[in-house]
Amino acid sequence: MSVVIDPAFDPVPSLARSTRVSLTALPPVDDIATAVFVRSEGELPAELAEAGREALAAAGFTGAANQTLLLPGARLRVLVGTGERGIESDAQLRDAAAAFARAAREAGRLAIDLTGVLAEGDWDVEVAVQAAIEGAALARYRYDALKSDPKTVALEELSLQLDESQIEAAEIGVERGLVLARTAALARDLANTPPRHLSAVKFAEVIERLAPEFGLEAEVFDREALIELGTGGLLGVNAGSVEEPRMIKVTYRPEDADGFLALIGKGIMYDSGGISLKPSNAMHAAMKFDMMGAAAVFASMTALRDLGAKTAVTGWLMCTDNMPSGSATKLGDVLTIRGGKTVEVKNTDAEGRLVMADGLVLATEEERRPDAIVDIATLTGAAMMALGTRTAAMLANNDDVAAQLQAAADATDENIWRFPLDHRYRDQLKSTTADLSNIGGQYAGVILAALFLNEFVDGLPWGHLDIAGTMQAESDDLWRSTGSTGFGARLLAEFAAAFEKPAVEETDTVSGETDAAPGETGEA
Ligand code: BES
Ligand code: MN
Ligand code: ZN
């Protein structure tokens, strides 16, 4: 490649940074910046009683949730609004910690007194500490790897004040919070890296380098190996590119593994649309994020050993860019997916499902069949149209998998909403020349894409996350920092760490396949 990229460029700068967390029963004494939680109703904290609500309101501070006001002094104090009822959930605490850390962006050392929050309601101190760390650390994430003069003040220390009796129980929350913040930051780094700085080839190199550090194995498949495997979807999408494709198989094998999970991630390093070229607008300019699914899968797996996950996990990262050129896949071309199903490409911009199909089939072919398959992909603009930028679409052929994904979404505040896998739309994916078409009609784009993927899961318990809407934050917003959100990395880590083999087989009400055994479903 004739374009100059600094050979020393580090695509994962977050891994070189770390925040020190201390738990203490004592109030801060030195110049550490402190949060003061303030409700919009009721009595003010003692230290603000003298100022009074009117003075605070005159400064624009009412105590509304996540509002902040800086009070300069020998020690910076940051008022953080907690609304009428105060902080009642771990999600609210994550938000409040993020609001604080963001408002105090010039401070390297932060202190939060959690005793008041934890004294009310029914708290699990471990969960609270984890949420506070995630919120503060992720709010301070900034992608400045390519700035000549980054002005970011690193979050060096976070001091959390607890009751003496709670400190021991909180230690595990510190560990989990730091691991999950690192996990999300890693996914953000990878997704924020520009497409030429992180081609599929380089992504594979980064993973090969990092995998052993996190107790993972990585196997990289280059173009030749992919031809050998017959991954026609991945190769077909790659056909227009001068960059080689890569499939990266990442494995986590704990001793005495209980259960086996497969995770498949969409790794379109850059999605131009191919011959069905996207218009040159802001959406197109965001398409370096089209590998967020793959980034989330890999990042989540770097947390598994530290979280003590007992489930064996295999990740399949399906990586290439999607480019137009004289050699690109044409409309009307037919690709043969691994396993033999043929797909007529009617729109080269519906490329994600093509690369994912190969990954899904490979996952079903594993000698030890997975107990569940979960895929994650920035798959459809329709997901963004339907749910906006805060909630991802989830579809599943199994209620238990869906429930476990929902639980992980609740724990991480990476919100998801289940859509029906409505097989009545399946006819739209028919093709006159091939087994399937890669697009359906104009409506229900999220469901059609999921129905397409469903053709390749061989009836195994399966969940699908469409994160197109949630991949990016256009501006800083609590723990979501501008750029890649890292959405899915924490969710999948929590999901995999808590995974239990699904108890029920096939429970989807609109599937029309209620009693089918694995292997008998998905007839074309
Ligand atoms: N990567 C895009 C989906 C996307 C859109 C992600 C907006 C993030 C924000 C995907 O490959 C795509 O282009 N999907 C098409 C599918 C259509 C041609 C059936 C879309 O959504 O328009
Ligand atoms: Mn596309
Ligand atoms: Zn795409």
Task: Verify whether ligand 1 is closer than 6 Å to residue 439 (CB atom).
Answer: yes
In the chain, residues under CATH classification 3.40.630.10 are: 218-497
The CA-atom distances, in angstroms, between 225 and each of 211, 220, 228, 231 are 20, 9, 5, 9
**419 or 8, higher pLDDT:** 419
The alpha carbon of 193 and the centre of ligand 1 are apart by a number of angstroms equal to 20
Ligand 2 center to residue 86 CA distance, Å? 43
CA of 349, closest atom in ligand 1: 13
Give the tens place of pLDDT for each residue, 96-144: 999 999 999 999 999 999 999 999 989 999 999 999 999 999 999 999 9
On the question of pLDDT at 82 being above 60, the answer is yes
Q: List, as one string, the DSSP characters of 371-429.
A: SEEEEEE---HHHHHHHTTTEEEEEES-HHHHHHHHHHHHHHT-EEEE----GGGGGGG
Q: Whose CA is closest to 397, among 439, 466, 450, 343?
A: 450
Residues of the chain with CATH 3.40.220.10: 13-184
Give the model's pLDDT for residue 518.
43
Mean pLDDT of 57-79: 96
The residues annotated as belonging to the active site are 278, 353
Distance (Å, rounded) from C-alpha 261 to C-alpha 313?
A: 5
Residue 2 confidence (pLDDT) above 80: no
Q: What percent of the chain has pLDDT over 90?
A: 93
pLDDT per position as a tens digit, 267-291 = 999 999 999 999 999 999 999 999 9
| 460 CA to centre of ligand 3 in angstroms | 25
Binding site membership of 460 for ligand 1 (Cβ less than 6 Å)? no
- Taking the mean position of all CA atoms in its chain, how far away is CA 275? 29
| Measured distance CA(286)–CA(511) in Å, rounded | 34
**Span 48-73, average pLDDT:** 96
Backbone CA torsion sign across 441, 443, 449, 454? negative
Q: Of 268, 272, 276, 379, which is best to mutate to test ligand 1, by the most ligand atoms within 8 angstroms of its C-beta?
A: 379
Rounded (10°) angle between helices 399-412 and 489-497? 120
Which pLDDT band, with edges at 50, 70 and 90, does 504 fall under? low
Q: At 291, which amino acid appears?
A: M
| Selection from 354, 239, 259, 351 nearest residue 314 by Cα | 259
Q: What is the pLDDT of residues 402-411, one digit of tens each?
A: 999 999 999 9
The tens digit of pLDDT for each residue in 183-239 reads 999 999 999 999 999 999 999 999 999 999 999 999 999 999 999 999 999 999 999
Taking only the tens place, the pLDDT of each residue in 146-190 is 999 998 999 999 999 999 999 999 999 999 999 999 999 999 999
Q: Is 58 exposed, middle or buried (0-12, 13-18, 19+ CB in 10 A)?
A: exposed
Q: Is 163 annotated as a binding residue?
A: no
> In the predicted model, what is the mean pLDDT of residues 497-508?
80
Average pLDDT score over the chain: 95
d(CA 292, CA 289) in angstroms, rounded, equals 6
Is position 414 annotated in a ligand binding site? no
- State the fold for domain 218-497: Aminopeptidase (3.40.630)
Amino acid letter, residue 483: G
If you ran DSSP here, which 8-state letter would residue 246 be given?
E
Q: Give residue 158's pLDDT.
A: 98
What pLDDT, on the 0 to 100 scale, is given for residue 138? 98
Looking at residue 291, what DSSP letter applies? G
Whole-angstrom distance, CA of residue 379 vs CA of residue 352: 6
For ligand 1, atom 18, the nearest C-alpha belongs to 350
- 13-184: CATH homologous superfamily? Leucine Aminopeptidase, subunit E, domain 1 (3.40.220.10)
What is the pLDDT confidence band of residue 507, given thresholds at 50, 70 and 90?
low
Q: What is the pLDDT of residue 29?
A: 83
Q: Is position 306 annotated in a ligand binding site?
A: no
Residue 511 pLDDT exceeds 70: no
Question: Which pLDDT score is estimated for 260?
Answer: 98
Tell me how far apart the alpha carbons of residues 278 and 272 are, in angstroms, rounded to a whole number: 6
**Distance separating the N- and C-terminal Cα atoms of the chain:** 43
Work out the pLDDT band at 521, boundaries 50, 70, 90. very low
Residue 394 has pLDDT above 70, yes or no: yes
Interhelix angle for 292-301 vs 167-192, to 10°? 150
Going by pLDDT thresholds of 50, 70 and 90, the confidence category of residue 514 is very low
- Tell me, in angstroms, the distance from the centre of ligand 1 to residue 450's CA: 13
| pLDDT for the residue numbered 503 | 86
